Amino acid sequence: MRRIHPYLLTAGLVFTLALSGCTGFSQEKAALSGTIEADEWPIVAEVGGLVTEVKVEEGTRVKAGQELAVIDERSYQISVSEAKAALEQATARLEEAKAGSRDSSIQKGVAAVQQADANIRTAQARQKQAEAGIRRAKEQLAQAQSLLAGAKHTLSYQQNRLAETTALFKQGAVSQKDWEAQQEAVSQAQTQVDQFEAQVAAAQAQYASAQGEAAAANAQTGTAQAQQAGAVADLDLLKEGSTDYTIRALLAAQQQAQAKLDQATLLLEKTRITAPADGILLRSSIEQGEVAKTGANLFTLMKADQLKLKVYIPEAQLNLVQQGQNVGIGVDAYPGETFAGKVTLISEKAEFTPKNVQTPDERTKLVFAVTIQITEGLEKLKPGMPADVILSGASEEGK
């Protein structure tokens, strides 16, 4: 019998007309050759970070749930702590709302209202002072304007007298002394006008300042009244207790905080890389000190308890197999022993024999792929072993 290389992953086909020594099969049998395979499962990193420890080596047999590697969990622990604190805060607010306001909270509300009242009184007193200042400034302005008008009238009179005196002085009707005395009277009248104009300007400035102070006091009063209204409303809520809307909002905030804690806890758990099933660690793609990225393949696990064998059968012998049929399997490592298997899949489509089959004649044949699940001898058979599959000519198991 011709056999393929022990590590070929694609089965070759050899057909023999007579094979004896295998109990339970007719004298005319077909022997198909292939290589035992096992399912491989990739183990990926669901979170990223520094790999602080790798606990298994390639070729190690592992159990489901066994820890394979550890990713630095410090940042994930911090996220869990923050989420716990947020949940505690949200829970406390909800419980306080459900229990109603405490006396101390009501006392604070009353104090806030009283303070607002005091602010209103202070603002109103300032406003009254500003209004009195406006009245005084207005009176002073009117008085200064009246005095200015009188001074201007006097100046005009003295200027007219000076013009007359000057004309008489030129005619010799008055003395120089009288003419100079009239000039002095005009100068004094002009000085008074200048003084009263300065007083009017000062009174106008004081009046404008008083108006600005009144406007500021009025605004302060409005602000204090608004603060008082808010404080009174808050006090009313404290006395009545929290509304249903407030409690629902706080309950939603608590649920959101719980969801964030659950998410943070889940990510923390994923820093421990574990085996998803029993098997053999076929490959390791990470070492201690490396940084694993989320989604990176860290290990490849081989499920040794689910061995299978794929062989190819010529179209002419397709009647020898059917799905669910029991078959015999032999390997070189255990001569004379036959292990049980079951046909689980027969390809619906014919194909040419794979290129790695040994002879050109065999490669030109149309064949169908047949997958066989090995059900016996799992403790002895290993992936990579070449194996022969023996099919009974009469297909007795299928009857």
Gap between the terminal Cα atoms of the chain: 29
Strands 61-62 and 279-284: antiparallel
What are 250-279's pLDDT values in tens digits? 889 999 999 999 999 999 999 999 998 888
CA distance 21 to 199: 138
pTM of the model: 0.48
CA distance 122 to 116: 10
Q: In order of start, what are the domains of the chain with their CATH numbers? A: 29-39+305-398 (2.40.30.170), 103-240 (1.10.287)
Which among 107, 113, 106 has a CA at the least distance from the CA of 226? 113
323's CB contacts (< 8 A; 6+ apart) are: 343, 344, 345, 346
What are 125-161's pLDDT values in tens digits? 888 888 888 888 888 889 989 999 998 999 999 999 9
The first and second tokens of residue 197, run together, are 């104009």
Res 7: pLDDT = 31
Res 25: pLDDT = 38
Please tell me what DSSP assigns to residue 202: H
What are 298-335's pLDDT values in tens digits? 999 987 678 889 898 888 888 888 999 999 999 999 99
In this structure, which long-range contacts are made by residues 19-28, counting pairs with CB atoms below 8 Å and at least 24 apart in sequence? 19/390, 21/336, 22/328, 22/330, 22/338, 22/390, 23/338, 24/328, 24/392, 25/328, 25/390, 25/392, 26/392, 26/393, 26/394, 26/396, 28/393
DSSP string, 361-393: HHHTSEEEEEEEEE-S-TTT--TT-EEEEEEET
| CB 302 within 8 Å of CB 39 | yes
Residues in the chain: 399
Res 104: pLDDT = 63
Which among 211, 197, 198, 215 has a CA at the least distance from the CA of 135? 211
What are 10-55's pLDDT values in tens digits? 333 333 323 333 333 333 455 788 888 888 889 999 999 999 999 9
Res 30: pLDDT = 52
pLDDT at 346 > cutoff 70: yes
**Torsion angle of C-alpha atoms 207, 211, 214, 215, degrees rounded to 10:** -170
pLDDT at 364 > cutoff 70: no
CA distance 108 to 318: 91
Strands 279-284 and 291-292: unpaired
CA distance 45 to 58: 18
The first and second tokens of residue 211, run together, are 């108006």
pLDDT at 358 > cutoff 60: no
What are 75-94's pLDDT values in tens digits? 999 999 999 999 999 999 88
| CB 381 within 8 Å of CB 36 | yes
CA distance 345 to 143: 118
Which among 382, 272, 389 has a CA at the least distance from the CA of 327? 389
pLDDT at 379 > cutoff 50: yes
| CB 63 within 8 Å of CB 278 | yes
Which among 4, 7, 12, 38 has a CA at the least distance from the CA of 369? 12
The dihedral built from the CA positions of residue 337, 338, 340 and 342, taken in this order, carries a sign that is positive
Strands 366-374 and 339-346: antiparallel
CA distance 258 to 250: 12
What are 177-219's pLDDT values in tens digits? 988 899 999 999 899 999 989 999 988 988 888 888 888 888 8
* Average of per-residue pLDDT across 162-175: 89
pLDDT at 362 > cutoff 90: no
How distant, in Å, are the alpha carbons of 316, 329, 346, 370 from that of 319?
7, 19, 11, 12
Backbone φ and ψ for 204, nearest 5 degrees, come out as: -65, -40
23's CB contacts (< 8 A; 6+ apart) are: 338
The first and second tokens of residue 389, run together, are 């599959």
